[in-house]
A and B are shown apart, each in its own frame.
Chain A
Amino acid sequence: MASEEIKYADKRANEILEVVMAYARLDFKQKISITNKEDVFDSIGTGVNMLGEELEGSTISLREKEQLLKEVHHRVKNNLQIISSLLNLQSDNFQDERFLAMIRESKNRINSMALIHEMLYIAKDFSQINMSDYIVKLSQSVYQSFNAKDSSIAFEYDIDESLFLEIDRMIPIGLILNEIISNSLKYAFPAKKGTIKFCLKEKKGNICFTISDDGIGIPKDFDYSQTKSLGVQLIPMLCDQIDAGLTINSERGTCYDLCFKALMLS
């Protein structure tokens, strides 16, 4: 090949490379110039230019869809908050402690779901939730709802911060967590002092989630199958929904062990 031809080929190849790299950076302003020679560089250039246009179109379309999804999560969260506020308004005229407790429990269940939608529209990834962030935020929100200013109940977290879960399983997990924390805050600490621990780890493809308290434990004659408590009934039902194994131990305080697959099988 003559030196002029080598120079020409080198120049054209470098120009194409520059444009390919620009497209990789999602910079679609650059285009390969097409000459009248109709040589192989012009053909590659035409193809790269056209693929760049398609990539740009797909990128814009993806951004629009992400924006739409964000908007949907925002609206779902707002609607759930409206339901929660309506329950608040409804409870304003009542003094009955049992009724007020029911309203609070319902509000907490709604908030456990609203928090997921809030985290999803803030996050970059709309398909999954960081479990660590969620557990910390939800536990603190439930604690605040009990208005337990005069109590000294501490939360301890031993959580793998790298674990994520998709929304379909995060909602049942959130509801389960809400029920367990609520039960501990309601019954485990008559002296209003104690600790609730959260341990979340991945072991051999399974996520092991342990929520335990050092309270008075569950009464020995307590029968899970006969209870009328909605919260206690919900826990095994929601575990079934996500195929999670559940073990409850009440030797020292109360300990719930949940174990489920780290990856959802399609």
Chain B
Amino acid sequence: MEVPTNAIEVTCYHTWMGKDGVGRTKVKLGADVTLKEAKENSDAVNSFYKGDKFPLLIDARGIRSMTRDARNQFSLKGRESGVKAFAIIIDSTISKVVGNFFMGINKPIVPARLFTNEEEALVWLKSIDNS
């Protein structure tokens, strides 16, 4: 996932809106995400909300850890206002562990799925967007 020059950069994430209407957020390599960084990311994602909810592609590859407060921020609070579905891209075993928490313990209220492939993730997000 190539980060464009106009992406919003905060402590642990780059965030931008794709031309296809899918929001994108990419975690920085070795990021330790706490509540502060999660809120920064939520604010960045929600800044793209203009009245219509949009699907969000999260590239979690490279994450090192995420605290409980941060997971709750993502699953319970920050993103629901603007996001209609999450696709989380994982590949390293750490990102798989973190991603799986969002499938159970920290399940978001919007549809969410894990992917190891960006193209498949986009196909699923667009199918949700069109449904």
| A residues in contact (CB < 8 Å) with B | 34, 36, 38, 40, 42-43, 46-47, 49-50, 53-54, 56-57
Contacts and interface: CB of A to CB of B under 8 A. Distances in A.
Interface string B77-111: 00000000000000011101110010001000000
Contact of B65 (A49, A54, A56, A57): A49
B101 A50 contact: yes
Contacts of A38: 64, 92-94
A19 to B, nearest CB: 14
B123 to A, nearest CB: 28
29 contacts: A34-B64, A34-B65, A34-B94, A36-B64, A38-B92, A38-B94, A40-B93, A42-B64, A42-B93, A42-B94, A43-B92, A43-B93, A43-B96, A43-B97, A46-B64, A46-B65, A46-B94, A46-B97, A46-B98, A50-B65, A50-B66, A50-B68, A50-B71, A50-B97, A53-B67, A53-B68, A54-B68, A54-B105, A56-B68
A220 B98 CA distance: 77
B107 to A, nearest CB: 12
B4 interface: no
A43 B68 CA distance: 16
A50 B68 CA distance: 7
Contacts of A47: 97
A49 B32 CA distance: 13
B68 A36 contact: no
A63 B115 CA distance: 37
A49 B92 CA distance: 17
Minimum-distance CB pairs A-B, first 8 = A43-B93, A53-B68, A47-B97, A43-B94, A46-B94, A46-B97, A43-B97, A54-B105
Nearest to B66: A50
Nearest to B105: A54
B74 to A, nearest CB: 13
Contacts of A46: 64-65, 94, 97-98
Given A38-B92, A50-B98, A57 B68 contact: yes
B78 to A, nearest CB: 18
B33 to A, nearest CB: 11
Interface in B10-48: 30
Contacts of B98: 46, 50
